[in-house]
Chain A
Amino acid sequence: MVIGLIDYGMGNLRSVLNALDRLGVAGRVVGEGDQLAGVDKALLPGVGAFGDGMRELRERGFTEALPAYVADGRPLLGICLGMQLLGTVSHEHGEHSGLDLIPGVVRQIETDPTLRIPHVGWNELAVERPSRLLDGLDDPPMFYFVHSYELKPDDPAALTGTTDYGRPLTATVEHGTAYGVQFHPEKSQRCGLRVLENFLAL
């Protein structure tokens, strides 16, 4: 099984590679869309701004290759910005089209104005719908988040998990074989490694 790690210049691949390594899997760094051909499961990590992320994906041929990859029934896991890029459109610094693999809109977190933005730190995950990605977690499961924007899926059935920050924020989504987690599984100790292990076992 080939695990592809998508490199589009938006963040720290090493942490994800380290986590895969801990799970006994060697990730293959994939820097261009057509290199997805031999990949069985792909991870799309990333931090930074949405518009930059889409531009970098486009320049490397991923905006065409990733929808084709998912249409093929192969699993894709977006992490943090990588999850938001799966949406249809983002309102982060302007309006930007996303990959539209999980139809939905990305907006700045709207919550109790006394709460600090970004939402940074460990928070509990509330599982909203059964998902193989979320099997066998600690009770309560806790993950490390750092984000100022949130993907709201159009179809409520795509929302598998939320986290409470004044109100429930989107934490995990899935639609077909496209999966997304807003938190950083590679930075969330045992719970995070379990999510990655579940993804590898899909």
Chain B
Amino acid sequence: MLKTRLIPCLLLKNGLLVRSEEFTFHQIVGNPISQVDRFSSWAVDELIYIDITREGEYDMRRDDHKVKVKRDILDIIEDISRSCFMPLTFGGGIRTLEEIRARLAHGADKVTINTMAYEHPEFITDAARLFGSQAIVVSVDVRRQAKGEWEVYTRWGRRATGRSVQSWVQEAERRGAGEIFLNSIDRDGTGTGYDLELVKTVTQATKIPVIACGGVGKFAHLAEGALLAGASAVCAANIFHYTEHSTIRAKKVLLQAGVDVRP
């Protein structure tokens, strides 16, 4: 049967890998190419890269950004795809069909679109028609509301839309999205585990595969996402940024918990 996928999510900022907390603080953790060499030989099923570079915006907490590496994202995609024979997804700030075309032509298999998809939902349809639904992953950032509802946020988690997550993922599916990449802003960087109620709500609201992300602090959290909330793929960022936490160990924990993964 189809295996649950284990997907590290890597955040790129100014050409360097960073880790993230609550979508706000970013700390540089390494070079995107050497990291991918590690993942290729490990038990990873797929990789998602999100470029969070924003012109003219800087983190308040650190001054690592003295180290400006002006590497073009397309060069990075090309390098990664040359050594990495698994599905590669790239996202972050995509607003045009031409940007999608360029990423796919340089070796990406899929792109994630977020703000542009929400603000112009016909963009999902146009992109799916041109490149196929399998290449279009709609990324959805949400915050839990006091009343136990989840509200969709855009613009890097800064703009509240007033819309419920269920309603938006159903529209995204209808418009031609191939997968949903679901991020909990509240859990990002906290290490307290997925927002399982959220993941379950979304997996029940849509028929397309859901990639759960946000909050994994130990490998057992990955298993919860698949077993308790029905995620087709379990994704995490920060936990894989340190060499002592290998994806091989993550797979072992998933298997022991009874999740059907590729060993």
A residues sitting closer than 8 Å to B (CB atoms) are 11-12, 14-15, 18-19, 21-22, 47-49, 115-124, 142, 144-148, 164-165, 184, 186-189, 192-193
Contact = CB atoms under 8 A, between A and B. Distances in A.
A153 B18 CA distance: 48
Contact of A12 (B2, B40, B104): B104
A120 B132 contact: no
A49 to B, nearest CB: 7
A117 B210 CA distance: 12
B112 interface: no
Given A18-B81, A47-B132, A187 B1 contact: no
B92 interface: no
A18 B1 CA distance: 29
B86 A121 contact: no
Nearest to A163: B2
A84 B134 CA distance: 16
A189 B88 CA distance: 12
Top 5 A-B pairs, shortest CB-CB distance: A48-B132, A122-B3, A146-B134, A122-B262, A47-B132
* Interface SS majority for chain A: mixed
Given A12-B105, A142-B3, A118 B86 contact: no
A116 B109 contact: no
Contact of B109 (A12, A119, A123, A147): A12
Contacts of A12: 104-105, 107-109
Given A121-B3, A187-B109, A18 B135 contact: no
B168 interface: no
Given A15-B109, A18-B107, A188-B85, A47 B3 contact: no
B1 A19 contact: no
Contacts of A188: 85-86
Interface of B: 1-5, 40, 45-46, 78, 81-82, 85-87, 104-109, 131-135, 178-179, 207-209, 232-233, 262
A137 to B, nearest CB: 14
Given A47-B134, A49-B132, A122 B5 contact: yes
Contacts of B107: 12, 14-15, 18
B105 to A, nearest CB: 7
Contacts of B4: 121
Contacts of A123: 1-3
B220 to A, nearest CB: 21
A14 B78 CA distance: 9
B121 to A, nearest CB: 20
B26 to A, nearest CB: 29
A188 to B, nearest CB: 7
Contacts of A187: 85-87, 109
Contacts of B87: 144, 146, 184, 187
A22 B86 CA distance: 13
Contacts of B5: 121-122
A120 B134 contact: yes
Nearest to A164: B1
8 contacts: A12-B105, A14-B107, A21-B82, A47-B132, A116-B209, A118-B133, A120-B178, A187-B86
B85 A121 contact: no
A142 B262 contact: yes
A120 B135 contact: no
A128 B142 CA distance: 45
A124 B2 CA distance: 7
Nearest to A188: B85
A93 to B, nearest CB: 11
Given A121-B4, A184-B87, A187-B109, 5 more contacts: A12-B109, A118-B134, A121-B209, A124-B1, A142-B262
